[in-house]
Amino acid sequence: MRYLILSDIHSNWQALEAVLEHAAGTYDCVLCCGDLVGYGADPNRVIDWSRENVQGIVRGNHDKGCAGLDDLDWFNNAARSSARWTQAVLSEVNLEYLERLPRGPLALDGFSLVHGSPLDEDEYVLSDADAAGVSGYLEAPLYFFGHTHIQRGFRLSHPSVWYLGQVGQDRERRRFDLERRYAYLINPGSVGQPRDRDPRAAYAIYDSESRAVTLCRTRYDIPGAQARILRAGLPAHLADRLALGA
Ligand code: ZN
């Protein structure tokens, strides 16, 4: 089975559309590591699509915040105002869908999905030290995670950690063959708000038969997404950062 692994779409319809076009024909099933909404201007369009097309998903912290399941106090100002705006514009059926998203880990075909870390859905796995900190507690040999908006993989052999290389700015795909003697934590990157200094939309393809992961990047209509954010009256900073990938 070939899985399209998405994370941190953040109501960015333009980015999601570009990813689906770029990935067309390379996957059989769609999975998501959370944060469908928050920051961007098209939460209903993204959730309508998710309800129809995503076969496995875990909730993210913005999904919880926008569904009213979590206190917005710890969000920064831009995140909080976009969460309030999202809550106000969501259709009833989409709000219900968001409320019912499961907490990770979600165990699938020999691998698991989480939003933050395998141990805590709200924790960030950014560094090799973060990855080493959870590597003794893994219940699956492969986890896909999100939350950091940084496309990055970690290869683990407790207590050692190696980074998997990134997709270069001049490339669109980079494939890694997984080895049975290691565990892996892999972040497909953020579809709708990348923060790794590459503004292109990010995703991954996992082929469970060949045990290969391909990290992918594709350009999308950033001005279109920015115009939607500004027209919605959301903070201009949320539009600006899309062009920076930061
Ligand atoms: Zn996020």
Taking the centre of ligand 1 as the mean of its atom positions, its distance from the CA of residue 196, in whole angstroms, is 13
**Residue with token string 């899309």:** 242
- Write out the chain's pLDDT in tens, 246 residues: 999 999 999 999 999 999 999 999 999 999 999 999 999 999 999 999 999 999 999 999 999 999 988 888 888 899 999 999 999 999 999 999 999 999 999 999 899 999 999 999 999 999 999 999 999 999 999 999 999 999 999 999 988 999 998 899 999 999 999 999 999 999 999 999 999 999 999 999 999 999 999 999 999 999 999 999 999 999 999 999 999 999
Strands (E), the chain: 2-6, 29-32, 54-57, 106-107, 112-113, 142-144, 152-157, 160-164, 173-177, 183-187, 201-207, 212-218
Classify residue 45: in a domain, yes or no: yes
Report the domain count for the chain. 1
132 domain-assigned: no
C-alpha of residue 238 to centroid of ligand 1, in Å: 13
Residue 65 in contact with residue 3, Cβ under 8 Å?
Answer: no
Residue 20, in any domain of the structure: yes
Q: State which residues form the domain around 207.
A: 2-109+171-180+189-243
Which residues, in sequence order, are CB contacts of 86 under 8 Å at separation 6+? 11, 37, 38, 43, 66
The Cα 79–Cα 179 span in angstroms is 39
3-class secondary-structure state, position 233 = coil
Instruction: Retrieve residue 110's tokens.
Output: 């020999």
What's the 181 CA to ligand 1 centre distance in angstroms? 31
Residue 129 domain-assigned (yes or no): no
Rounded Cα–Cα distance for residues 175 and 147 (Å): 22
Flag whether 226 is in a domain. Answer: yes
Instruction: Assess if residue 42 is contained within a domain.
Output: yes
pLDDT of residue 74: 80
Output the pLDDT for position 194.
Answer: 98
Count Cα atoms within 13 angstroms, Cβ side, for 187: 28
Q: For residue 159, what pLDDT is reported?
A: 86
Distance CA 240, CA 193 (A): 11
Is residue 116 domain-resident?
A: no
137 C-alpha to ligand 1 centroid (Å): 24
Q: Is residue 123 a part of any domain in this protein? A: no
* Beta pairing partners, 154: 163, 185
CA of 147 to the centre of ligand 1 (A): 5
Q: How far is ligand 1, taken at its centre, from the CA of residue 210, in Å?
A: 29
- Measured in Å, residue 35 CA sits from the centre of ligand 1 at 5
- Cα of 4 to ligand 1 centre, how many Å? 18
| CATH number of the domain to which 39 belongs | 3.60.21.10
Predicted pLDDT of residue 83 = 95
Ligand 1 centroid to 243 CA: how many Å? 17
> Which of 15, 3, 11, 10 lies closest to 217 in space, CA to CA?
15
